[in-house]
Structure 1
Amino acid sequence: MKTQFILSTMMALSLSACTAVGPDFTPPTMDMPAAFTAGGGSSFQSPELQMWWRELKDPLLNDLVAQGLANNLTIQSSLARIRKSEAQLRATGINAQTTGNLTSSVNRAGADNLPTTTNDTSILSGTFVIDLFGDIKRGQEQAAANLEASGFNLGDARAAVTQSIVMHYVSARFAQEAAALTRKTVASREQTLSLVRAKRRAGTASEFEIVQAEADLFTAKADLHGYLSNFESAVFAMTTVLDADPAPILLKMQRGASQPNPRGASSLGKPADLLRNIPSVRVAESTYAAAVAGLGVQEAKLLPSLTLSGSLTVSDPHSWSFGPAFSLPVFNRPALKANRDAQIAAVEEAALNWRAAVRAAVGEVETQSNSLVRSNRQIALLRSAVGSSETALTLNKANFEAGRSSLIELLDAERTTSARRLALAAEVQSATIEWANLQVALGRGWKIAQ
C-alpha cells in the first residue's frame, strides 16, 4: 500500500514538470518608418509622465484636468476593472489547482427500548490538479495579460479624459473670444447705424440704407447670443466629463481668459516609440498575449488530466483515502476541438487588431502634426488679413462720413473684418485642439493619476 502511494505521488510530480502546450507569447514587431513625414527627433523620455496640458500655462485648466483625473466616471470604471482583473489573477495558479472542504456533522439517534447515541463525524477532503500540460500555467498567463490590458485601458481612459477636458475648455474659450469680437462688431454697426440716421436727417441717405444697417446690426446681436450659448454648452459638456456641479465651474469660466495657444513646435520622436508609448497599442498587445495564452488553455483541455484526491474522516472508526485519478476527454472531444479552433481564430484576430492599432497610432500622429503645421501657417496669414481689414474698415468709415463712399462699401468692410477676426479665432482654436490631440497621439501624460 505504501509502495503504491509513493509511486503514484512520484509519477504525478514528474508529470507535472511537463512543458505547457500551446505557443509561448512573443511581443510582436512591425516594420516602422524611420521618421514621420513632418520630421522627427530623438525618442521621448517617459512621455507618459509628462503633463503636456501645463504647457498652455493656464492655472484653471490645470485644476480642471486634475479634478477630471480624480473624479471622472470612466476612469473610476477602469479602476474597478483593474481590481476585478487582480482578483481573477489571484484565482489562478495554485489557487486554481486546489479544492477542498471540511464538513462536520453531529447525529443523535435512538429508538424504543434502545439507548440514545451520538455520532460525531468530521470529513476533510481535498483535490489537487496536476498541471500536466500547462492548463493552469496558461490560465495564469492569460489572467496576467488581462490585468496588464486593464492597466493600459486605464491609461487610455486617462488620456481620453484629459483630451476631452482640454477640447471643451478650448472650445469654451473660443466661444468667449468670438463673443468678445462680436461685441466689437455690434458696437461698430451701432456706430454705422448712427451715421446713417444722421445722414438721413440731413437728406443724404435713404430709408433703405437705414433698414440695411439695422439688419446687419440685428444679425451681429443674434450671432452674439449664439456664441454665448456655445460657451455654456462647452462648459456643461466639460463638467459632465468632470462629474462635477456645473454652477461653480461656469462662474469661474465666465470671468474670462485669453484663448489657449501653444507656442513652438512639438517634438515628434520616432514612429517606433509608439509601440511602447501608446496605451491603446499596449492594450492590443496585452489582449494578443491573453489570446495566445488562452490557446494553450484550450489545447490542454484536449489532453489527459490527472488529479490527486484524498479525504480524512474523523469518526468511530477513523478512516482515510488518497489516490490519483486519470481523465481523458472522449465524447466531448469535438466540442473541445471547436473551442480550440475558435481560439486560434481569436489569436489571429488579436494579432491583426494589434497591427491596426499601430497603424492607427502612426496615422494619428501624421494627421495631427501636419494639420498643426498648416493651421499655424493659416494663423500667421489670418493675422495679416485681420490687420489689413481693420485698416480698410477705418478708411471706409472716414470716406463714408465724408461722403466719398457708399454704405454698401462700409457694410462690406465691416462684414469682412468681422469674418476675418472670427476666422482667426477659430483657427487658433483648431490649432490648439490639434496640438492637444498630437500630445495624446504621442503618448504623453496617460500615466498621471492626479
Structure 2
Amino acid sequence: MKKNLKLTALSCSFIILNACSQTQLDLSSSMEIPASFSQQQAGQSQQNIQQWWQNWQDPQLNRLIEQGLAHNLDLALAKGRLTEAQAQSRMANAELGANVGVSGTAGIGYSDINTGIINPASSRSHALLGGLTASWEPDLFGQKRSDSDAAQAVALSYQQQVYATQLLITAQIAESYFNIYAIEQQQSVLKQQINALQQLQRYLTGRFQAGQINAYERQEVAKQISAAQAQQATLQAQRDTQQRQLAILTGQSLQQFRLTTQGNPLVHLPAIPTGQMPAEVLARRPDLSANAQQVQAYAAKLASAKADLLPRFDLQFLGQGGRIDVNNDLSYLSGIGSFLSLGIQFPLFTNGRIQANIDASDARLQQALIQYDKTLLTALAEVENAYQQQYALRQQNQQLNQALQQAQQQSKEAKRLFQYGDQTFNNTISAQLSVLNYQQQLIQSQLETAKSLVGLYKALGGGWQEKGINNSVNDEAK
C-alpha cells in the first residue's frame, strides 16, 4: 500500500513539473548559418548601419527621415497595435493573481401606521451592511503562466513589427528622395536633347528646301522631337508623384509640401559597408526577431492547451457583516459571517475537443518554426543579392562613365571636323545626342546604385531605432 502511494506521488510530481516547465523554445534553426557572406568583399568599414542615411551627409535627407519617424501614419498604426498588445499582455499577467472585491449597502426606513383603532405608531430603521469577496485560481499546472507568456511574446512581436515598419519607411523616404533628383537630371538632359533635335530639324529643313534630302529624313526628326516632348510631360508627372509620396511618408500636407533640390546625392555615394557577419545581421533584423517571438507565442499556447488535460482548482471566500437599528424597544441587530470554498474541475469526457486543440496548437507551432526558417534563409539571400547587385552596379557606373567620356571626346572631334568642313552638321548633332544618351543611362544607373545601397542597408537590418517606442513589455520580461 505504501509503495502504491509513493508511485502515485511521484507520478503527480512528474505531471506537475512537466506542466509547469518553461514555454520558451531554443530557436536553433535547422538552417546552416554561414560564417561570412560570399558576395561581400574583404575589409572593415566603420559605418553607421543603424542610421545609414547619415552616411550621405545630406541634411535635407536627414530631416525628411526624422520627420517620417516622428509623423508617419503607418508607423503610428503599428505603435497603436503595439500599445493594444501590451495592454493584453498586462491583462493576461493579471490573471495570475487573486481577485478581491468589496461591497457595501446603507439604507434607512420609515413606517407610519394609523388604523384608527389603536394609537398611531411610527418607526425608523437604519441598516449598514458590508462584504468582502475574494477568488483565486492557483496556477498549479502553469496554464495561466503559459497564457501570460503567449501574450507577452505577441506584444514583443508587435514591438519588432514597429521596428520593421521604421526600417521600411526610412528606405521608402530615401528612394523617393533619390527618384526626384534623378528625374530632375533626366529632365535637364531631355531638354538638351530637344534643343539638339530642333537644331538638326532646322538644318535638315534647309537641306530639304535646297533639294538635297527627301521629306523622310525631316519627318523622322520631327517624330523624335514629339516623342521627347511627350516624355518631358511624363517626367514632370513622375516628379510630382514622388513629391506627394514623400509628403505621405513624412506625414505632411500634400498641398503645402515642396522639395527643393540642391547638390546631387546620387554622385557621392557612401562606401559599401563591409565586415558584416551573418549572425550579427540576423540578430539585427526585426522581421526575424518578430518571427522568433511568434514561435515563442505559439509554444506557450501549446503548453496552455496541454494544461487543459489537468485539473483546475479555485478558492472562493465570502465575508459579510452588518448592523440594523430600529428606534423601538428592540435592541440593534448585528452579525458577521464568512464562507470559504475549494473547488476542483477535471475533464472526464470532452469528445476529443482538448486533444484536437492540442493538435491544432502544435500544428501552428510547427508552421511558425517553418516560417522562421524561411525568413532566415530569405534574409541571408537578400544580403547576398544586395551585395552582388551593389558591386555590379558600381562597376556599371564606371563603364558608363568611360563610355560617356569617349562619347564627349567624339562629340568634340565631330564639332572640329564640321568647323573645317570635313563633316556634315547632322553628324555633329548625332554625336551630341550620343553624349546625352549616355548621360541618361548614367543617371539611371546612378539612381539604381543609390537605391540598391539603400536595399543593402535594409537587408543588413539597418534603419530602425528604439527611441520613442514603449518598452514596457521588455521591462515585464525582466
Fold shared by both chains (TM-score > 0.5): yes
> What are the residue-to-residue correspondences of 1:287-436 with 2, within 5 Å?
287-315=294-322, 316-332=334-350, 334-396=352-414, 409=427, 412-436=430-454
Partner of 2:101: 101
CA contact (8 A) 2:47 2:273 kept: no
Q: Mean alpha-carbon deviation: is it higher for 285-294 or for 106-115?
A: 106-115
Matched residue SS, 2:62: helix
Partners of 2:155 and 2:183 in 1: CA distance: 42
Asked if the contact 2:96–2:139 (Cα under 8 Å) also holds between the matched residues in 1, the reply is no
Tell me if 1:229 matches 2:237: yes
Distance 1:157 1:86 in 2: 18
Which deviations, in whole Å up to 9, do the C-alpha atoms of 1:332-384 show, x marking residues without a partner? 46322222221111111111111111111101101111011111111111111
Deviation of 1:22 (Å) = 5.8
- Deviation, 1:166, is 0.8
Verify the 8 A CA contact 1:177 1:259 in the aligned structure 2: no
Deviation at 1:134, TM superposition (A): 0.6
Structure having the higher helix fraction is: 1
Q: What is the correspondence of 1:24-43 to structure 2 with a 5 Å cutoff?
A: 24-30=23-29, 31-39=32-40
**Partner of residue 59, structure 1:** 59
Percent identity over the alignment is 18
Deviations 1:177-230 (A, max 9, x none): 111111121222222233334445655455444333333223222222222221
Superimposed CA distance per residue, residues 46-73 of structure 1 (whole angstroms, 9 cap, x where no aligned partner): 977x310111222111110000000011
> Residues 256 and 43 (structure 1 numbering): CA distance in 2 closer, same or farther, change over 3 Å?
closer
The CA RMSD over aligned residues, in Å, is 3.0
Q: CA deviation at 1:107?
A: 5.4
Alignment of 1:190-209 (within 5 A): 190-200=198-208, 204-209=212-217
Partner of 1:176: 184
Work out whether residues 27 and 292 of structure 2, in 8 Å CA contact, stay in contact via their aligned partners in 1.
Answer: yes
Q: Secondary structure at the match of 1:192?
A: helix
Where 1:105 maps in the other structure, the secondary structure is strand
CA distance in 1, matches of 2:200, 2:458: 47
Larger radius of gyration: 2
Question: Out of 135, 141, 158, which is 1:127 matched to?
Answer: 135
Query: Aligned partners of 1:396 and 1:43: how far apart in 2?
Result: 47
Cα 1:151–1:44 change in 2 (3 A) is farther
Cα deviation, residue 34, structure 1? 1.7
The one-character-per-residue Cα deviations of 1:249-281 (angstroms, maximum 9, x if unpaired) are: 32x33x444242414322151112233110000
8 Å Cα contact 1:156-1:280 kept in structure 2: yes
Q: State how far apart, in whole Å, the 2-side matches of 1:233 and 1:345 are.
A: 45
Q: CA deviation at 1:120?
A: 3.2
Give the Å deviation of 1:288: 0.7
**CA distance in 1: counterparts of 2:316 and 2:451, whole angstroms:** 63
Q: Which residue of 1 aligns with 2:83?
A: 83
Q: In the alignment, is the contact (CA less than 8 A) between 2:23 and 2:149 conserved in 1?
A: no
Q: Given the superposition, is the C-alpha separation of residues 28 and 18 from structure 1 closer, same or farther in structure 2, using an over 3 Å criterion? A: closer
How far apart are 1:74 and its partner, in Å? 1.5
The Cα of 1:395 is off from its aligned counterpart by 3.9
Helix, strand or coil at the partner of 1:313: strand
Q: SS at 2:26's partner residue?
A: coil
In structure 1, list runs of 5 or more residues that go unmatched: 1-13
Residue matched to 2:168: 160
CA 414–226 in structure 1, closer or farther in 2 if over 3 Å, else same: farther
Sort the Cα spacing of 1:47 and 1:310 in 2 relative to 1 into closer, same or farther, 3 A: farther
Equivalent residues in 2 for 1:257-296, closer than 5 Å? 257-261=263-267, 262-267=269-274, 269-296=276-303
TM-superposition CA deviations, 1:369-420 (whole Å, max 9, x none): 1011111111111111122223333444555677655677556545543332
Q: Is the contact made by 2:72 and 2:250 (CA closer than 8 Å) also made in structure 1?
A: yes
- Shift in Å, 1:331: 4.2
CA contact (8 A) 1:302 1:333 kept: no
Deviation at 1:301, TM superposition (A): 2.0
Could you tell me how far apart the structure 1 residues matched to 2:466 and 2:205 are? 61
Residue-by-residue CA offset, 1:231-257 (whole Å, 9 max, x unaligned): 11111112111121134432x33x444
TM-score by length of 1: 0.86
Structure 1 residue 127, shift from structure 2 partner: 0.4
Other structure's SS at 1:228 match: helix
Single out whichever of 329-338 and 344-353 deviates more from structure 2: 329-338
Q: Say if 2:194 is the partner of 1:186.
A: yes
Q: How many residues align?
A: 434
Deviates more, 1:267-276 or 1:427-436: 267-276
| Contact in 2 for aligned 1:97/1:136 (Cα 8 Å) | no
For residue 115 of structure 1, report the CA deviation from its aligned partner: 4.8
Tell me if the contact between 1:23 and 1:292 (Cα under 8 Å) persists in the aligned partners: no
Cα offsets for 1:72-98 (capped at 9, x unmatched): 111112222222222222223354432
Contact 2:203 2:425 in 1 (8 A): no
Instruction: Give the TM-score taking structure 2 as reference length.
Output: 0.82
Q: Counterparts of 1:46 and 1:324 in 2: how far apart (Å)? A: 63
Q: Secondary structure at the match of 2:335?
A: coil
Deviation at residue 108 of structure 1 after TM alignment:
5.8
Query: 1:72 is matched with which residue?
Result: 72
Rounded Cα–Cα distance in structure 2 between residues aligned with 1:407 and 1:311: 106
Q: Distance in 2 between matches of 1:80 and 1:46?
A: 32
For 2:91 and 2:46, the matched residues in 1 are separated by 36
Specify the SS of the correspondent of 1:120: strand
CA distance, structure 2, for counterparts of residue 61 and residue 177 of structure 1:
18
- Partner Cα distance (1:164, 1:249) in 2: 17
For residues 344 and 90 of structure 1, the distance between their equivalents in structure 2, rounded to whole angstroms, comes to 25
